[in-house]
Structure 1
Amino acid sequence: MTPVLSAPGDGDLTRDPSPKDIRLWRRYLANERAEAAVYRDLAQRREGEERDILLALADAEGRHEAHWRELLGERGDGGVKPGINTRLFGVFARRFGSVFVLALMQQAEARSPYATEADATPTMAADERIHEEVVRGLAMRSRTRMSGMFRAAVFGANDGLVSNLALVLGVGATGVSPQVILITGLSGLLAGALSMGAGEYVSVRSQRELLQASTPNPETPSLIPRLDVDANELALVYRARGMSADDAQERADRMIALQGAAPESGPVNLTGGEEHEELGTPWGAAMSSFCFFAGGAIIPVLPYLFGLQGLTAVFVSAAVVGIALLITGGIVGILSGAPPWKRALRQLLIGYGAAAVTYVLGLVFGVTTG
C-alpha cells in the first residue's frame, strides 16, 4: 500500500507569519523529522514488504517536512525539538522496534492536527489519515504474529492480582492475625496458579486434539493415485472442508493433473488451504500460566511478607496492586490501538471493585462472628 504523498508549497506563503506561527511551523517540522526517523529505525528491524512500507512512510513524512521548510524559508528550524511523545517513540523504536511502537505510532497518526491546521495542505491531512491505516495494518501483522504467550502473561498476571488482593483484603477485614492473612494469601497464590496451569494444559491439549481430529488421515492421500477415484469425488473432499463447488473442482483437477504429470511430487493435499492458530505445547502453556498468575498473586502478599500489619498493610497492598493493574491495562490499551490511560483506568476500577466487595463482606462477616 503506497501512502498518498503531498507536494510542498500548497500553503499560504503570501501573508506575514506571526511569531506564534513560526514556532508552530518549527514544531511541525521537528515532529515530521522525528517521525520519519522512527519509521526508518523500524524499517531496519524489518525485512521484505514491511521494510519497504516503512521506508515509504518515512519518505512521505519527508515530503511533509519539505512543506514546513518552505514556509519557514530563511527563518530555519530554530533548533526546536520534537514533542516529548515523538522523542519517546524514537527511543522505543531504536531499542525495541516492536508492535508497541507501531501501536503508539498508529495513535500518533490518528491525532494529527493537520485536519484543522490552516497552513497545512488538505493533501497532508489526507496523508496522515492514510498513514494511520498503513500503520494499523502493520501493527495488525505484528499482533497476529504474537503467540498466546502475551495473552497468558497479561491476563494471568491480572487474574493473580485481582483474585489474591480480594482474598487478602476479604480475610484481613475479618480481624484475623497477619500470620493467617499471609498463609491465606500464599495458599490462594498456590491454588490459583495450579488451577490456571491445569486449565491452560487442558485447554491447549484439547485444542491440539481437535485439530488433530480435523487433519486428513495421512495414509489417504498417498492411496488416491492408485485408486479409481475421479476428480469429482476428490472435489467432494474440498467442498466438505468449506470450499465452493467451483473452487473445489478447480483444486481437484489441479491435484489430479499434478499427480499425472509428476507422481514423485508427493501425495495429494486434501486440506482446503485453511490455517490454524499456532499452538504451544500443553506443558509449556501450563507452566507459563502458573508463573504469570503466581507473579501477579504474590504482589498483594508482599506487605505481609515484610511484616506490615493492619490498615498499613491494606493500603500498601492496594497501592502496589493498583500500580500493577495500571501497567497491565496500559499495555493492553497500547497493543489494541486504544488510549492506554482508558484501559489502565478500566483495569484499575475493575480490580478495586472486586477487592472492595470482598473487603466489605469480610467486615460484615467479622462483625457477625465477633
Structure 2
Amino acid sequence: MTVRPDSTARDRRRWAQYLVNERAEARVYRELAGRKTGEERAILQALAEAEGRHEAHWLGLLGGEPGSVPAASTRTRMLGWMARHFGSIFVLALAQNAEGRSPYDQDPHATAAMAADEKVHEEVVRGLAARGRRRLSGGFRAAVFGANDGLVSNLALVMGIGATGVGAHFVLFSGIAGLLAGALSMGAGEYVSVRSQRELLEATEPAELDAGVLPDLDLDANELALVYRSRGMDAEDALTRARRMLHRSRTSGAAAAESGPVAVPDAHEVIGGAWRAALFSFGFFASGAIIPVLPWIFGLSGSVAILIALILVGAALMGTGAMVGLLSGAPPLRRALRQLLIGFGAAAVTYALGLLFEVTLG
C-alpha cells in the first residue's frame, strides 16, 4: 500500500493519532473481555474487532505502518490504565463518553460506516454499563448521598459554630456530635426509606394466577381480560390473551406461564437491600463528616482551621462529584464543580449566620 498522494503532513499526523487511539481502545475492550464470560465477553470482543477494522482503514490511508506514531490520547490511556486496575463499571462509563465524542462525523477521511459504528458503539457500551450501574445503584446512591451530606452538613456546622468565636474545644465537640447524630439519622432514614420502597414494590407486583380457577371462568364476562388490562394491556390484546389462556387451561389443564406478572425487571436490584443501604449511608456519612473536623482534632483553631477544613472538604466534594460524573457517563469536571459550589454555598450561608450571631451576642 502507498500513502494517498493528496494527503498533507497534517492529515497523516491526524490519521496516525486515530490509528493509535483505535489500537488502544481495542486493547481496552480485550482487557475487559478477559474478565467476563458469556454474552458480555462476546460483545466486548466484537467491539474490539470493530476497532480493528477502523485501525485497518487508517493503516491503508497511511500506506502501512508509519515510522513513528504519537502517544494515544490522554483519555484513551486513562481508559487502558483503569481497565487493568479497576472494575469494568468505571471503564465502561468512560468508554461510553469517549465513543459519544468520536470525531469521525466531521472528518472527511473517515467512512460513513465508521461514523455509524461509533454511534452504535456508544449505545452498546451504554447497555453494558447499565448492567453494572443497576447492580451498583442501591449501595452507591446511599454511599454518595451519605458522604456528600456528611461533608456539607458538618462543614456548615463547624464553620457556623466557629464563626461565633467560641473556643476550639466547643467546635470540636459540636463536630463530633454532628457526625454521630447525622450518621445515625442517615442510616436509620435510609433503612426506612429503602425498606418502605421495597415493600411498596412487593405490594404492587402482580401475583401468579391460580391455574385451578381458570377453567371455571366465564369468558364472556371477560374477568381474566380485566386482569391483563389492569396490568397495562389494551382491551383487544387483553381479550386475545385471556381467550388463549382459557383455551389452554381447558384443553390441557396446564397452568400457562403467560399468567405471570408483568413487572419491571431488576426493580429490587436497582433499589438495593435496606440493611446494605443503611450501613453504606452510616459509614459514608461518618467518613465524610469527619473531614471538616480534622483541623480541630489536630489542635488547630480559628481562621487557619476553617481554611484547612475548606480545602479538605473541597477536594472531597470534587472527588465525589467526579466519581458520579464518571459512573453516569457525564463530564466529571462539571459534576465535580457542581458538588463544590453546592457544598461551599451551604457552608457560606451558615458561616455568615455565625458571624451575625457573634456580632449580636458580642
Q: TM-score normalised to the size of structure 2?
A: 0.89
**Residue aligning to 1:224:** 213
**Residue aligning to 2:328:** 336
**Residue aligning to 2:4:** 13
**Residue aligning to 2:163:** 173
Residue 327 (1) aligns with residue 349 (2): no
- The alpha-carbon deviation at position 276 of structure 1 amounts to 6.0
- The alpha-carbon deviation at position 74 of structure 1 amounts to 5.0
- The alpha-carbon deviation at position 180 of structure 1 amounts to 0.6
Alignment equivalent of 2:152, drawn from 142, 158, 162: 162
| CA distance in 2 between partners of 1:258 and 1:93 (Å) | 51
Residue 28 (1) aligns with residue 21 (2): no
Distance 1:74 1:194, change over 3 A: closer
Contact 2:248 2:256 in 1 (8 A): no
Distance 1:198 1:72, change over 3 A: same
Contact 1:222 1:268 in 2 (8 A): no
Distance 1:228 1:59, change over 3 A: same
**Residue aligning to 1:197:** 187
- The alpha-carbon deviation at position 236 of structure 1 amounts to 1.4
| CA distance in 2 between partners of 1:183 and 1:296 (Å) | 16
Distance 1:301 1:339, change over 3 A: same
Alignment equivalent of 2:84, drawn from 94, 99, 103: 94
Contact 2:211 2:249 in 1 (8 A): no
1:140-198 per-position Cα deviation (integer Å, ceiling 9, x unaligned): 34323433111111111101111110011000000011111111111111111122122
- The alpha-carbon deviation at position 64 of structure 1 amounts to 1.4
Alignment equivalent of 1:351, drawn from 319, 334, 343: 343
Q: Please say which of residues 356-365 and 86-95 is displaced more in the overlay.
A: 86-95
Contact 1:221 1:270 in 2 (8 A): no
**Residue aligning to 1:76:** 66
5 Å-filtered alignment, 1:119-268, equals 119-215=109-205, 221=210, 223-225=212-214, 228-231=216-219, 232-260=222-250, 263=253
**Residue aligning to 1:4:** none
Contact 1:237 1:270 in 2 (8 A): no
Distance 1:67 1:322, change over 3 A: same
| CA distance in 1 between partners of 2:212 and 2:134 (Å) | 36
- The alpha-carbon deviation at position 262 of structure 1 amounts to 5.5
Q: Which amino acid aligns with 1:60?
A: A
| CA distance in 2 between partners of 1:128 and 1:25 (Å) | 16
Alignment equivalent of 2:51, drawn from 56, 61, 65: 61
Q: Which amino acid aligns with 2:306?
A: V
Distance 1:77 1:277, change over 3 A: farther
Residue 284 (1) aligns with residue 276 (2): yes
Distance 1:324 1:262, change over 3 A: farther
Q: Please say which of residues 201-210 and 272-281 is displaced more in the overlay.
A: 272-281
Residue 311 (1) aligns with residue 303 (2): yes
Q: Which amino acid aligns with 2:230?
A: A
| CA distance in 1 between partners of 2:63 and 2:180 (Å) | 67
Paired positions, count: 358
Distance 1:234 1:276, change over 3 A: farther
1:34-59 per-position Cα deviation (integer Å, ceiling 9, x unaligned): 11111122222334433333222212
**Structure 2: gaps (5+ residues):** none
**Residue aligning to 1:5:** none
Q: Which amino acid aligns with 2:293?
A: V
| CA distance in 2 between partners of 1:16 and 1:185 (Å) | 65
Distance 1:75 1:268, change over 3 A: closer
Q: Which amino acid aligns with 1:337?
A: G
Alignment equivalent of 1:361, drawn from 348, 353, 357: 353
Residue 293 (1) aligns with residue 281 (2): no
Distance 1:90 1:75, change over 3 A: closer
Q: Please say which of residues 199-208 and 27-36 is displaced more in the overlay.
A: 199-208
The CA RMSD over aligned residues, in Å, is 2.7
Contact 1:238 1:271 in 2 (8 A): no
Q: SS of the counterpart of 1:147? A: helix
Q: TM-score normalised to the size of structure 1?
A: 0.87
Q: Which amino acid aligns with 1:299?
A: I
Q: Which amino acid aligns with 1:81?
A: A
Q: SS of the counterpart of 2:72? A: coil
Q: Which amino acid aligns with 1:317?
A: A
**Structure 1: gaps (5+ residues):** 1-8
Q: Please say which of residues 102-111 and 243-252 is displaced more in the overlay.
A: 243-252
| CA distance in 2 between partners of 1:132 and 1:217 (Å) | 37
Percent identity between matched residues is 59
**Residue aligning to 1:106:** 96
